[in-house]
Amino acid sequence: MLTGDILRLSADRHPDRTALICGDDRISYGGLSAAANQFGNALLGNGVSKGGTWAIMSRNLPEYVMAHFGSAQTGAMVVNLLPAYASDELVAILKKTSASLIVVEEIFQQKIVDILDQVPALQSVIVIGQPLKDSWVSFEQFISGQPATACRTDISDDDPFAMTFTGGTTGLPKGCLVSHRARFVSCYTTAIEHGVSESDTVATVTPFYHAMGSLVWLPTAIFAGATLVIVTGWDPDDFVELTARHKITCTFMVPIQLRQILSDEHFDRDKLKSLTKVSCGGAITPADLVHEIKAKMPDTQFTNHYGQSETGPICFYHPTHPRNKANTVGHPALGVELKIVDTEGNEVGPGDTGEIIAHGPFLMSGYYNNKEETEAYFKNNDDWGWTGDLAKKDADGFISLVGRSKDMIVSGGVNIYPREVEIVLENHEDIIDCAVFGIPDDQWGEALVAFVAAKKPSLLDETKIIDHCTEHLARFKRPKHIRIVKSIPKTPSGKVQKPVLRQEFLERQNAAGSA
């Protein structure tokens, strides 16, 4: 199925049903479909058609949804940009993709002003709001007068239609390019595994510029015919109030967001009583958080999942799974072929660590204009994607993530997986978050560093952490260096920024050594 058809079919079924709620605004499925059609026709009228690229940089807004589904009818490829990108990153991505048009939210348009002379291919700027320059047009002006009927273009399920950028081994971002088929499979899987239906009111917490936002949860909710409450920016108290106001039933968020709404500071069980389906992903969900939501919201069905931009969600931990498996990502999703293998591609036995590889129509098409990285991902040229994620499967088939293959620490000739140490730290009653990584060590090759965020800093010190590790970890797995911090830095998708922590630690260490 084509991505544009997802909205079209839901609009045909119930044109008058509310599709989007954003602030005080409500947009019906019929109205959303018409606006998406207008955007698609406007793109074609501006020369952005099959094989072409355009970009969007915005927070979650109705215009993002209109543009996403409208573009999907044209054969063009949308480049989803993080508003947090620095100028150099924006220039690199816009040059790499040769985007000829950009839709930018009003509050971010100065970023485009600053780089415009460095990206000559960028010919058109469409502003959600009031444009800064006379040559730019507003989103409303762009679609005004365009046909509200669907575009008629020759595209197939296997054509690429969208890309998000993710980190590369060279330090340069890679454009993860996906087809209509790949993300419809992910959308269908998500609807089934999470039980999303037309009776749901879904809060879109995840930013649309992230793969889980516009490429998984947005189309899933639209496909099901649900009502979407657009969450433009994250604030735990605002989310609680939105849930009470709109009787939100379903949402996806990263673990740190769930921990915030469950905290004593923000939790209000009565206001959250309509929320019967919660899913986490984007980062590893600690077992204690799974137990906490079950204790505080016993009527809420919690689902944890694992996936990446290249695969979509491919593993699920369900409410029906045993409590003692809460530290896992459950089983492979319906229709997902998955293995845990050694470096030669041979499956490892239960309890042994290996890399997750996956096969199926949900896999990305490749990295945009990056043959080397694409070949590395599909390294055996057999359509199996090598995720770079290390995991192990127990005797019951439950999969536990261990870490990234590139994050594995070799200390004294022994392999250490940071996730094993992080699980132990997370089990300490006074620790709310943590990150473990390796740094060069003259004696052991590498040494472990643990950054730890405390629930209440006054109750936690380094001695307590050391004692806890001594009780639960072999000597060679214990962190050599411990830092207690207020919070652990995360990407917008909730992943720990270990390179930032590593650089910060080494800079302090070097400064102390030269003092």
Whether 252 and 371 share a structural domain: yes
Alpha-carbon span 274 to 202, nearest angstrom: 11
297 and 398, same domain (yes or no): yes
The domain boundary residue, chosen from 166, 190, 218: 166
- Smallest CA-to-CA distance from 385 within 335, 345, 349 is with 345
Instruction: Mark whether 381 and 473 lie in a shared domain.
Output: no
Residue 274 sits at the vertex; the CA angle it makes with 272 and 276, to the nearest 5 degrees, is 100
Task: Determine the residue type at 384.
Answer: W
Residue finishing a domain among 404, 429, 456: 404
Tell me, what's the pLDDT at 5? 96
Residue 96 maps to which CATH number?
Answer: 3.40.50.980
Cα–Cα distance for residue pair 386/341, rounded to 1 Å: 10
Query: What is the residue range of 72's domain?
Result: 25-166
Looking at the fold, whether 375 and 422 belong to one and the same domain comes out as: no
pLDDT at 395: 96
CA–CA separation, 140 and 264 (whole Å): 43
Q: What is the pLDDT of residues 228-251, one digit of tens each?
A: 999 999 999 999 999 999 999 999
Q: Which amino acid is at 423?
A: I
Q: Above pLDDT 70, what percent of the chain?
A: 98
- Sign of the Cα pseudo-torsion (329, 330, 331, 336, in order): negative
pLDDT at site 170 = 44
Residues 320 and 251 both lie in one domain: yes
Examine the domain organization and report whether 246 and 390 are in the same domain.
Answer: yes
Which residues, given as ranges, of the chain have pLDDT below 70?
167-172, 493, 514-515
Q: Does 50 reside within a domain? A: yes
Distance CA 288, CA 303 (A): 14
Q: Is 62 helix (H, G, I), strand (E, B) or coil?
A: helix
HSE-CB of 400 using CA atoms within 13 angstroms = 22
3-state helix/strand/coil string of 406-458: HHCEEECCEEECHHHHHHHHHCCCCEEEEEEEEEEECCCEEEEEEEEEECCHH
What pTM was computed for the model?
Answer: 0.87
Distance separating alpha carbons of residues 433 and 491, to the nearest angstrom: 15
| Total tally of structural domains belonging to the chain | 3
Identity at 132, one-letter amino acid code: L
Do 464 and 501 lie in one domain? The reply is yes
Assign residue 266 the CATH number of its domain: 3.40.50.12780
Report the CATH number that the domain containing residue 498 is assigned in CATH: 3.30.300.30
DSSP E strand stretches across 212-261:
227-230, 250-253
**Domain end residue (candidates: 123, 142, 166):** 166
Cβ pair 310, 382 in contact under 8 A: no
Pair 124, 15: CB distance under 8 Å: no
Amino acid at 271: K
Residue 207 is assigned to a structural domain of this protein: no
pLDDT digits (tens, 9 = 90+) for 444-490: 888 999 999 998 888 999 999 999 999 998 888 999 999 999 999 98
Asked, for residue 188, whether it belongs to a domain, the answer is no
Predicted pLDDT of residue 448: 95
